[in-house]
Amino acid sequence: MSIPVTFVDRADAAIKNPQLQRTLEAATTKYVGHRASAFARLGAEGERLRDRGKEIRANTLAHLDQYLETLARNVEKNGGVVHWAKDAAEAREIIIRLARERNVKLVAKAKSMVGEEIEINHALEAAGITPVETDLGEYIVQLAHERPSHIIAPIFHKSKEQVAELFSREFGRQVEPDIPTLVKLARATLREKFLQAEMGFSGVNFAIAETGTIAIVTNEGNGRMCTSVPRIHVALMGLEKVVPTWDEFAVLLGLLPRSGTGQQISVYTTMISGPKRTNDPDGPEEFHLVILDNGRTKLLSGELREALQCIRCGACLNICPVYGQIGGHAYGWVYPGPIGSLLTPSYAGLREYADLPHASSLCGACRDVCPVRIDIPRMLVALRTQEVKQGARPFIEDAIFKLTAFVLGNSVLYSLASKFGHFAQLPFARRGRLPSLPLMGRWTQARDFPIVQAKTFHERWKDLNREGHKEREEKK
Amino acid sequence: MRASLFITCLNDLFCTHVGESVVRILRRLDVAIDFPSAQTCCGQPLLNSGYPSDARKLAQRFIEIFESSEYIVTPSGSCALAVKHDYLNLFANDIEWRARAEKIAARTYEFTSFLVNVLGVNDLNATFNARATYHDSCHLNRGLGVHDEPRELLKHVRGLELVEMEHSETCCGFGGSFAIRYPGISTAMLDDKLTWIQNTGAQVLVVGDAGCAMHLAGALARREPKIRVMHVAQILDEGTRV
Amino acid sequence: MREWQPLAELAGNYDALADIFERELVAVNGFMHRVESDDEARARMLDLVHDAKIVGVSESARPFGVEAALMNANIALASSRAELEKADAGISGGLCAIAETGTLVVTSGFGEARLVSLLPPKHIALVRAQQFVPNVMTALRVVREKFGDNFPANVTFITGPSRTADIELSLSIGVHGPGELHVIMIK
């Protein structure tokens, strides 16, 4: 099935897909409920934790270069190697070079959004190196040649029958659509990969500058496998993921799982500080940290700086009523949902993704749940303003807004316009409503439009005043 | 007590009954109400679509018109939010206008908030026999924190059975130009909201914001014409008519 | 709020901390065993591995004398990576245990093999009551105090057996990491 090209087509296709609608409702309801329970358990402390989280992230961004410098110094002190990549191409080049130089044939990958951002899998395959996704959901996404549809639940849009079909094709035999069977099969297959792979690749949830440590938060254990078994570990991080100290990391660690899945803590939090030490019986011999810019420093100096505070929990996706209707793929790139509507235009082009900042009713539910209190609606409006400034909106739309502004700025024009509106719509009025109206098809396809009243409130005021005088006279 | 009415463009053109009820109720509560007739629009739709300079001009016009009012009361949470919050950001870099905006912001109230928090009134001795449910408009609820006030007023209406719908706080899908730009998504959100409304068995849907009201009423007119869409002011007004 | 320290008031109150730890561990499908002595701990461990052929034992488990007990029970000790890959269980100690979240903290360093608590399908950890700390922040400080400037290459928080809900949001226990976690606590 080909993926529709425009956002509106993708969104409409998602809305008309009954299976996706069912799974979207189940997934978002589940995670919204779990998150609410986790924060209810914390009580007022939870709100203070979010305040502290926002403070930590904002402070980090304010001194980002200093903390990145400390991080790099400490990673190297631990025996690791730091690489700086200004964009996706450079990051791919660094990782491929590392793999080639070390004769890597197989890369065991733990889930990484930033890995998707630089499209590392295509690059590895083109270089004759095989990447294997080891997070169960990502593994299935890889088999299906798709993108994940949610930051933390990549395949909630797939049924177990669809997964069984994928496995049957992959393994050349009939696989039962029974979840324990599917999980067991995936475990056995991927275990082989962990043990064979020369390189393990991971993302980074947080990078603690104080000791040059990267933290990876998982539930399945593949994060531990990828970073402990293969002899080379390469970690890729967006430069905004640095955290100054362990105490501050503890706060963010308290916020991330609770916000995303409602867990107090994930099953495994793995904190890696360089390659194995001389006396360690196991662990990777080499540790490489690739620090990626790819548009982040540009955001740092603008109105969307706050978007860099994101800790990738997924809470905004789960609560968003728009995401809840259209799912992750409709957003068209790596980052879906409210935060995706900020990051995608910023990293992948405002003109190319001009719909995303507008595909929101600005309801503010995302801001309500963000663990670090990012004001997403404010920045969506900032992007809309940028679009107008850059002339990225259709001419007719711009003309309508400018005309509206002009009319609203003048009482006479305003009352003339309302008179005109009333008379122009009269032919279409049926029993006090407008079931259809030229140029308003998008509205009237689903709902009636109200009629402009014969007497606007401005005009009714005289009558109301008379009424009011009479009442006051009667009272006396 | 004196207050000026800010009717809002949508209520002015489409929902005049709401404004009439607001005026009658405030008069019944001995508020001397006036209506600065030069008023048009708060400018929020322009701001939200990416036209801050145009919005700023309308904001300045609004401030000049209403500056001498002791209180400004509006039936729409969206517009109250614009004046109380957005205006402050619009004039962030202008000391003089920012100060004027702050004064106006402090005096502006959405209707139910004005009754409960300023007049200290929650019981108007009103009677209205119906089962009703209330939709929390996003700007009023999340933006201004006005959630309990409408409910307090409705709970004191005799004969009114207030039933909470599931997900009353979830966006109805109007979102201003969003409903026109993305009708598919807007309608999908609308459909869900209608289901939750219908599930309450309510005969009356109480909605504050004119935008949400137009959107919901327009759909109910086709699918459930028996459900009446009303503003809190209308219920209080009809409930206290002699 | 400068510091976030839930349950800080219970620091040093090992009974209370153990109760909370147990509640949290059980809530995530882990198993808690409370014993009075090292002897009892070894006996309980043998119960848990009674049908095992090979078992991996890491440095941190040594002080509990488990190796001798295993050999007496004719259970082989994994002595190579290949053997560990086939082991039925892995036995370790831990640096400390976090009551608030039901978390066991394991670290590399001092000869500790990290794969013992990862590769085999069953993980048994032995801890003493005095190793319980109230919260994550305290645990991280314990790590820093123990290692100082020689920070270990790996510190892992383990909270229950591995899990996924990726397929149809249905919970499955036991994915890549161990599917069974047992914590034996010695008073």
Residues A46-100: tens digit of each pLDDT: 999 999 999 999 999 999 999 999 999 999 999 999 999 999 999 999 999 999 9
Residue C45 has pLDDT above 60, yes or no: yes
DSSP summary character for residue B118: I
pLDDT (average), residues A365-378? 98
* Chain C residues with beta carbon closer than 8 angstroms to that of A265: 101, 103, 136, 157, 159
Count residue pairs from A and C with Cβ separation < 8 A.
187
* A262 touches A315 (CB < 8 A): no
Please answer yes or no on whether B41 and A361 come within 8 Å at the CB atom: no
Taking phi over 0 as left and psi of -120 to 50 as alpha, with beta for the rest, A175 belongs to beta
Give the mean model confidence (pLDDT) for residues C169-186: 92
Q: Does this model's pTM top 0.90? A: yes
- Surface of A (306-325) touching B: CB under 8 A: 321-322, 325
DSSP state of B117: I
8 Å CB contact of C166 and A137: yes
Mutate to test the interface with A, among C96, C147, C167, C173 (most CBs of A within 10 A): C167
In the stretch 407-446 of chain A, residues with CB closer than 8 A to chain B read 408-411, 414, 418, 421, 433, 435, 440, 442-443, 445-446
Q: Say whether residue A13 is in contact with chain B using an 8 A CB cutoff.
A: no
User: Does residue A472 surpass a pLDDT of 80?
Assistant: no
In terms of C-beta density within 10 A (0-12 exposed, 13-18 middle, 19 or more buried), how is residue A168 classed? middle
Per-residue pLDDT of chain B (242 residues; tens, 9 = 90+): 999 999 999 999 899 999 999 999 999 999 999 999 999 999 999 999 999 999 999 999 999 999 999 999 999 999 999 999 999 999 999 999 999 999 999 999 999 999 999 999 999 999 999 999 999 999 999 999 999 999 999 999 999 999 999 999 999 999 999 999 999 999 999 999 999 999 999 999 999 999 999 999 999 999 999 999 999 999 999 999 86
| Phi, psi (degrees; rounded to nearest 5) at B92 | -55, -35
Distance between CA A153 and CA A165 in Å, rounded? 20
Q: Which chains touch C (3 or more CB pairs under 8 A)?
A: A
- Any residues with CB less than 8 A from the CB of B4 and at least 6 apart, and which? B33, B34, B35, B36, B66, B69, B70, B71, B72, B73
For residue B159, the distance in angstroms to the closest alpha carbon of chain A comes to 27
- The answer to whether the CB of B110 falls within 8 A of the CB of B144 is yes
CB B232 within 8 A of CB A458: no
Half-sphere exposure of A168 (CA within 13 A, CB side): 11
User: Residue A2: which pLDDT band, with cuts at 50, 70 and 90?
Assistant: low
User: Residue B27: which of A15, A445, A468 has the nearest Cβ?
Assistant: A468
Strands B72-74, B108-110: pairing is parallel
Q: Is chain B adjacent to chain C, meaning 3+ CB pairs within 8 angstroms?
A: no
Rounded-to-integer distance, Cα C71 and Cα C74, Å: 5
Encoded tokens for B199: 């599930």
E-strand ranges in C50-176 read: 54-57, 76-77, 89-92, 96-98, 103-107, 122-128, 132-133, 154-158, 163-164, 172-173
Give CA–CA dist B176/B48, Å, rounded. 9
- Chain B residue with minimal CA distance to A12? B184
Distances (CA, A) of C62 to A416, C43, C46: 90, 15, 15
* Banded model confidence at residue C2, pLDDT cuts 50, 70, 90: low
Residues of A in contact with B60 (CB under 8 A): none
Query: What is the reported pLDDT for A3?
Result: 73
Residue C157 pLDDT grade (very low, low, confident, very high; cuts 50, 70, 90): very high
* CA separation for the pair A375, A247 (Å, rounded): 25
Backbone angles phi, psi at B154, to 5 degrees: -70, -35
A386: Cα separation from own chain's centroid: 21
Minimum CA–CA partner of B57 in chain A: A409
Q: Please, do chains A and C touch (3+ CB pairs < 8 Å)?
A: yes
Which of C28, C114, C158 is closest, CB to CB, to A283? C114
Please determine, for residue A1, whether its predicted confidence score (pLDDT) is greater than 60. no
Average pLDDT over residues A200-207: 98
- Across the range A270-288, mean pLDDT stands at 96
Look up residue A53 and give its amino acid. G
% of chain A with per-residue pLDDT over 90: 76
Nearest to A453 among B13, B52, B186 (CB): B13
Contact A275 C170 (CB under 8 A): no
The minimum CA-CA distance between A386 and chain B, rounded to whole Å, is: 7
- Among partner residues A368, A393, A445, which is closest to B142 by beta-carbon distance? A368
A358 contacts chain B (CB < 8 A): yes
Q: What is the pLDDT of residue A76?
A: 98
Closest to A238 measured CA to CA, from A298, A198, A287, A285: A298
Q: Which of A15, A361, A467 to mutate to test the interface with B (most CBs of B within 10 A)?
A: A361
Q: How far is residue A384's CA from residue A279's CA, in Å, rounded to a whole number?
A: 57
CA distances from A52 to A137, A353, A368, A415 (A): 32, 33, 15, 51
Helix B183-199 to helix A7-15 angle (10° resolution) is 30
Interface test with C, best of A167, A206, A217, A224 (most C CBs within 10 A): A224
User: CB-based contact (8 Å) between C180 and chain A?
Assistant: no
CB C125 within 8 A of CB C183: yes
**Who's near A264: CB < 8 A, 6+ residues apart?**
A38, A257, A258, C24, C100, C101
Q: How far is B131 from chain A (nearest CA, A)?
A: 24
Residues 6+ apart with CB under 8 A from A173: none
What phi and psi, each to the nearest 5 degrees, are found at residue B176? 70, -125
- The nearest CA of chain C is from the CA of A266 a distance in Å of 7
Q: Following DSSP, what letter does each residue of C113-148 receive, concatenated?
A: -GGGGTSSSEEEEEEEGGGEESSHHHHHHHHHHHHT
Residues with Cβ within 8 Å of A121's Cβ and at least 6 positions away in sequence, in order, are A109, A115, A131, A133, A142
C-alpha to C-alpha distance for A6 and B145, rounded to whole angstroms: 37
φ, ψ (nearest 5 deg) of residue B166: -65, 145
Instruction: State the residue for tokens 């360093």.
Output: C109
Best residue in A34, A280, A372, A373 to probe C by mutation, most C CBs within 10 Å? A280
Confidence of residue C152 (pLDDT cuts 50, 70, 90): very high
**Partners of chain B (3+ Cβ pairs below 8 A):** A
Place of tokens 């996404």: A141
Across the interface, whether the CB atoms of C176 and A283 are under 8 A apart is answered no
| Structural element, H or E, at residue A18 | helix A18-42
- Separation of alpha carbons A292 and A312, rounded Å: 16
The pLDDT score that the predictor gives to residue C167 is 83
Q: Which residues pair with C35 in a beta bridge?
A: C186
- Residue C2, Cβ density class (10 Å: 0-12 exposed, 13-18 middle, ≥19 buried): exposed
Helix, strand, coil in percent for chain C, rounding step 5: 35, 25, 40
Chain C residues inside the 8 Å CB shell of A135: 166
Residue of B nearest to A382 (CA): B50
**What per-residue confidence (pLDDT) applies to B143?**
96
Q: Which residues of C98-124 are buried (b: 16+ CB within 10 A; e: fewer)?
A: bbbbbbbbbbbbeebbbbbbbbbbbbb
pLDDT at A426 over 60: yes
- Residue C109 DSSP class: B
ipTM of the prediction = 0.96
- Residue C29's Cβ-count burial label (10 Å; 0-12, 13-18, 19+) is middle
Q: Which residue has the tokens 């396809």?
A: A445
Residue the block writes with tokens 């899998």: A121
Judged by DSSP in three states, B74 sits in strand
Residue of C nearest to A141 (CA): C166
d(CA C105, CA C95): 6
Q: Which of A457, A459, A463 to mutate to test the interface with B (most CBs of B within 10 A)?
A: A457
Which chain C residue's Cα is nearest to A155?
C166
Of A381, A409, A450, the CB nearest to B47: A381
Residue A440: pLDDT band (50, 70, 90) is confident
Cross-chain CB nearest to A247 (options C28, C137, C172): C137
Residue A403's pLDDT band, with cuts at 50, 70 and 90, is very high
Q: Which of B2, B48, B227, B231 to mutate to test the interface with A (most CBs of A within 10 A)?
A: B48
- Which residues of chain A neighbour C162 with C-beta distances below 8 Å? 219-221, 267-268
Tell me if A447 and B221 make a contact (CB, 8 A cut-off): yes
CA B236, CA B18: separation in Å to the nearest integer?
A: 11
CB contact under 8 A, A446 and B7: no
Contact present, A332 and A149 (Cβ < 8 Å): no
Confirm if C60 and C113 have CB atoms less than 8 A apart: no
**Average confidence (pLDDT) over C26-39:** 96
